[in-house]
Amino acid sequence: MVEYEWQRVSRAIEQDIRTGRIPPGGALPGIVRLAQEYGVADHTIRRALRDLRERGLIETLPSKGSFAIGPAKAEAPRPEPRDGDPSEGV
């Protein structure tokens, strides 16, 4: 199967988020810088960022930029119940 450039870029940024290279809340570089880094056109970066937004890995704030949200919240560990917690054993 053919992989589009935007998919390659999206996968690379996703890997940076999942490994912590871009931590939750961390800012992604701007579109121009990402385009230079990956050697692609601006619209390719925009498409990759749209994919990451749709999958819940980043959020984009107008006039601020794009920020990592982190891996899906469903992957986060559940907190351990405290001693004497009435919800234990329920």
pLDDT tens by residue, 3-51: 999 999 999 999 999 999 999 999 999 999 999 999 999 999 999 999 9
At residue 1, the pLDDT reads 83
Domains identified in the chain, total number: 1
In-domain check, residue 86: no
Residue scoring higher pLDDT (55 or 75): 55
- Picking from 14, 84, 78, the residue whose alpha carbon sits closest to that of residue 49 is 14
Query: Which structural domain range is residue 27 located in?
Result: 5-67
CATH number at residue 30: 1.10.10.10
Q: List pLDDT tens digits, range 71-82.
A: 654 354 445 555
CA–CA distance, 26 with 20 (Å, rounded to integer) = 9
18 assigned to some structural domain? yes
pLDDT digits (tens, 9 = 90+) for 13-23: 999 999 999 99
